[in-house]
Structure 1
Amino acid sequence: MSHIVFFEKPGCGGNAKQKQWLLDAGHTLDVRSLLATQWTEAALLAFVDALPVADWFNRASPRVKSGRVVPEDVDRDTALALLLADPLLIRRPLLQVGDERRVGFDPAAIDTWIGLDSHAAQRSRAQSEGCAAGMNEGGCAAP
């Protein structure tokens, strides 16, 4: 099984479920706060650079949900500046195994990558990313 560095928003119910699926599959986790990490351009780009810019954003973020930030309308440099200034905008979780990094929690993709129990791998992306109803200002259900 794999040892995963898992960047989360502390208290996020969605991240809690994702961590449990990984643990249930036999992986070990080094859990880190996405918000407390001192992100640099290089460190963040190591996770997101291969994705389309719009996929860098947390769709459950209050700024995205309200329309104040429209990921499809943001260029790469502006997106990077926004994410560094407000880590709540970063799509999560960020996952790292060795030198490979991933963004978001798509159970089927994670199952292919490092293995995940078959029940979790069949869950839809909509169920496994984002937050539950009743979000607080940080974009997640209150703990």
Structure 2
Amino acid sequence: MQIIFYEKPGCSNNSRQKALLEAAGHELDVRNLLVEKWTAENLRSFFGDRPVADWFNKAAPQVKSGAVDPQNTDAETALALMLAEPILIRRPLIEAAGQRAVGFDPAEMEAWVGLQAPRVQGVDLETCRRPKETAACPDKP
């Protein structure tokens, strides 16, 4: 299956997620989430009915510092913030078979595109693996 995979280049979790999809036989069209020319409507289409707080990259410097509070942000404000600072967008964004989604839950991916998920059950493929005491990943491309 052809999958469009929007990532932050250099993100170790995105690398692991891509490897799992490729191992399952999927063909990836990998794109840089940070430089994509997003519109509010296009970006919104990836979030479905998820709560606004689930749209955010919890490892983004602005979220970690408290400058942006996903729990108290409405949809319109969230989209405006994400268009201005794409590092705030939870990743990956995935498009396949006419559907769009955000994040990488192995069970959801198995049901949607097929992942051969038993080998990854219980593995966290979304939380940033960098130790908190290390420098944050760059938030610019």
Q: Which moved more, 1:33-42 or 1:43-52?
A: 43-52
Residue segments in structure 2 that go unaligned for 5+ positions in a row: none
Q: CA deviation at 1:135?
A: 5.0
Residue segments in structure 1 that go unaligned for 5+ positions in a row: none
* Alignment size in residue pairs: 135
Q: Which amino acid aligns with 1:64?
A: V
Q: CA deviation at 1:51?
A: 1.6
CA distance in 2, matches of 1:81, 1:128: 27
TM-score by length of 2: 0.90
Q: CA deviation at 1:98?
A: 2.9
The question of whether the paired residues in 2 share the 8 Å contact of 1:88 and 1:138 is answered with no
The question of whether the paired residues in 2 share the 8 Å contact of 1:61 and 1:138 is answered with no
- Tell me which residue corresponds to 1:16: 15
Q: CA RMSD in A?
A: 1.4
- Tell me which residue corresponds to 1:123: 122
Q: CA deviation at 1:137?
A: 4.2
- Tell me which residue corresponds to 1:108: 107
| Greater than 3 Å deviation, 4+ residue runs | none
Q: CA deviation at 1:128?
A: 0.4
CA distance in 1, matches of 2:75, 2:127: 22
1:132 to 129, 133, 140: 129
The question of whether the paired residues in 1 share the 8 Å contact of 2:48 and 2:101 is answered with no
The question of whether the paired residues in 2 share the 8 Å contact of 1:104 and 1:129 is answered with yes
Q: Which amino acid aligns with 1:119?
A: R
Q: 1:51-97 deviations in whole A, cap 9, x for unaligned?
A: 21111100111111111111011111111100110000000000000
CA distance in 1, matches of 2:137, 2:111: 34
Q: Which amino acid aligns with 1:3?
A: Q
How has the CA–CA distance of structure 1 residues 135 and 128 changed in structure 2, closer, same or farther, with 3 Å as cutoff? farther
CA distance in 2, matches of 1:129, 1:11: 14
- Tell me which residue corresponds to 2:27: 28
Q: CA deviation at 1:49?
A: 4.2
Q: CA deviation at 1:12?
A: 0.5
Question: Identity percentage over the alignment?
Answer: 50
